[in-house]
Amino acid sequence: MTAPSKEALATLTPVLTKRWLSPDAWKLDVFERLDGYAALRKALAAHPDDLIALIKESGLRGRGGAGFPTGMKWAFIPQNDGKPHYLVVNADEGEPGTCKDLPLMMADPHSLIEGIIICCYAIRANRAFIYVRGEAIHAARRLRQAVIDARAAGYLGPSILGSDFGLEIVVHSGAGAYICGEETALLDSLEGYRGQPRLRPPFPATHGLYASPTVVNNVETICSVVPRRQAHLREADQHLVAGAARPRAVRTVPALHPVLRGDRRRPVHRPGRWHAAGPPAEVLDAGRLVDAAADRRAPRHPDGLRGDGGGRHHAGYHGGADLL
């Protein structure tokens, strides 16, 4: 693999994080001013099958860890089966040290909502659920407010932007069970049962939420739908990576997906891959992206997500006056 030039490393163009540094980035008017919901208008003018084909062509894979092709998962949903279809967004980011989905929901919740609407239009679903980890109280509040604002602006409801497609989004907070990060346990929890993994088959694509066809995708996966719809980006484009040794989100450059190790932030060498002497990724400075004062319990530390000595972790939050 050819190593990227120093110029390429120095000019890292944000994709998923392009709005994070904007004042009030989580608000609807800021999102609309920065190309928000523009892709949705184009998507509603296309045929749903064409959208699935576009996501397949882009090579987008699941960002929850499994890496399953997203377009293929969408295509598994049977059509004309007479059953309701559902989208469930897995926002149960429970792995210790992970912190890539929470910043997305806090700093840019409307990017998730726009991706949800496009996905639901493609799979012919009229109801979507965002399952948020129970401890992420501030993220759930911000998402619920974003859903309210989107509905008031005509992006949600029975007739989105005057089309014949309607959608409602439910933000559901879990009870903090670690196992509910597994998709079938998450579905049981959504249905009101104890969260326990289901035996498969049948799979969620045919027997998911309420025994109906269901797509389960990660937050970052759905947020990545819009850039691929607009610019035909490939799977080699940017990812968000969470480092466990010192929790922070990292935006990697194309074709480089480093495993963070300690404070050196050096990619671990793997055979056949380029091994850099310096950091090939941009570490997102959480001190600039979030305001820890939004949570009075949160330590005032620039790394955002830190331990408090008692085994608990708190995140710094983007903004915060609207969350108290």
The pLDDT, as a whole number, for residue 172 is 95
The pair of three-digit structure tokens given for residue 311, joined into one six-digit string: 């085994």
**Residue 115 belongs to domain with CATH number:** 3.40.50.11540
- Residue 258 belongs to some domain of the structure: no
Mean pLDDT of the chain: 75
- Residue 111 belongs to some domain of the structure: yes
- Residue 93 belongs to some domain of the structure: yes
Q: What is the tally of structural domains in the chain?
A: 1
- Residue 153 belongs to some domain of the structure: yes
**pLDDT band (50, 70, 90) for residue 3:** low
The pair of three-digit structure tokens given for residue 297, joined into one six-digit string: 């319990």
Q: Which carries the bigger pLDDT value, residue 289 or residue 78? A: 78
Q: Which domain holds residue 175?
A: 16-231
- Residue 307 belongs to some domain of the structure: no
- pTM metric for this prediction: 0.74
pLDDT tens, position by position, 115-146: 999 999 999 999 999 999 988 999 999 999 99
Q: What is the mean pLDDT of residues 100-124?
A: 93
- Residue 302 belongs to some domain of the structure: no
The pLDDT, as a whole number, for residue 293 is 36
Least confident of 145-149, 219-223, 242-246, 316-320: 242-246
Non-local CB neighbours of 143 within 8 Å, separated by 6+ positions: 105, 109, 112, 130, 132, 171
DSSP 55-99: HHHHT-B-TTTT--BHHHHHHTS-SSSSS--EEEEEE---STT--
Length of the chain: 324
| Cis check: omega of the bond before 201, within 30 degrees of 0 | yes
pLDDT tens, position by position, 252-304: 433 333 333 333 344 433 333 333 333 333 344 333 333 333 333 433 333 33
Per the CB < 8 A criterion, the answer to whether 257 and 279 are in contact is no
Q: Is the pLDDT of residue 76 over 90?
A: yes
C-beta neighbour count of 268 within 10 angstroms: 10
Rg (CA), the chain: 19
The pair of three-digit structure tokens given for residue 312, joined into one six-digit string: 């608990």
E strand intervals along 141-246: 168-173, 214-218, 240-243
Q: Which carries the bigger pLDDT value, residue 263 or residue 214? A: 214
- Residue 264 belongs to some domain of the structure: no
Per the CB < 8 A criterion, the answer to whether 303 and 247 are in contact is yes
Cα gap 28→37, rounded to integer Å? 10
- Residue 308 belongs to some domain of the structure: no
